[in-house]
Amino acid sequence: MRVGAPSRRAAVIGLLSALAIATNYAMIGIPNVKLMDSIVFLAGLSLGFADGAAVATLTWIVYGFLNPYGFVPTIWLATTLGEWLFALAGSLSRTLPGERKPPVMAALGYATTLAYDLVTNAAFAVTFGLPIWAALVAGIPFALLHELTNAAAFSLLVPRAEAAVLALLGPGARGGRIRADRL
């Protein structure tokens, strides 16, 4: 289901992409701790999968190409497609009944990040000719940090941010999904 006028949706896609890019650079010194995943999830949740994937792709086009850690095409492709998982999870979460409960958001954040880490660490192993199992095990400390911080970010930020994004999209976006008193 698409929500909001096209111009407003385009504006929100740009806004969320800019927010993801800016926070990525602001937090570049803290490996594996980023707000980008929550923002892409939020985009999928409030706008749908296609728009969420657009936010993910736009963010990775900028952040992937202009990255002080370097650019490797296969890693970039894996992280971009992996980021779509957050848009997909957000989109699928729209069918969840009731309000956004923090525990549910935390579980979604943790599980989706786990899937993302598996995909991207496997892609890293294939790219550099490492055994996949060894790469997955070696990446566990970094993956755990990523998963735990995303679980916290999803539970604390997403419910409030969704209400704000739907308010930006206008009255048509509410559609009974979000109660007016939450806006």
Partner 1 sequence: MEKWAAVSVLLLIWAVSASMLAVYYRSELSALNQRLSASAGGEGEYVTVNLGIGVQGGDVTWYNGTRVKKGSTLLDVTAQVADVNYTVYPGMGAFVQSINGVANSDPYYWMWWTWTDWGGWQEGPVAADRYVVADGETLFWYFEDASQSPLPTPP
Instruction: Catalog residues that contact partner 1 under the rule CB under 8 A.
Output: 70, 72, 101-104, 106-107, 110, 114, 128, 134, 137-138, 140-141, 143-144, 147-148, 151
**Cβ distance 99 to 182 under 8 Å?**
yes
- d(Cα 129, Cα 123) in Å, to the nearest integer? 10
Minimum gap (Å) between residue 28 Cβ and partner 1: 14
| DSSP string covering 28-88 | TTSTT--SHHHHHHHHHHHH-HHHHHHHHHHHHHHHHHS-TT---HHHHHHHHHHHHHHHH
Minimum gap (Å) between residue 22 Cβ and partner 1: 23
Nearer to partner 1 among residue 144 and residue 168 (C-beta): 144
Nearer to partner 1 among residue 9 and residue 100 (C-beta): 100
Minimum gap (Å) between residue 13 Cβ and partner 1: 30
Q: Which of 151, 116, 146 is nearest to 31 (CA)?
A: 146
For the record, the structure tokens of 24 come out as 């990525």
Angle at 120 between CA 46 and CA 22, to 5 degrees: 50
Nearer to partner 1 among residue 23 and residue 67 (C-beta): 67
For the record, the structure tokens of 113 come out as 């990040």
Nearer to partner 1 among residue 6 and residue 141 (C-beta): 141
For the record, the structure tokens of 83 come out as 């980021």
Nearer to partner 1 among residue 46 and residue 149 (C-beta): 149
Minimum gap (Å) between residue 55 Cβ and partner 1: 26
Minimum gap (Å) between residue 74 Cβ and partner 1: 10
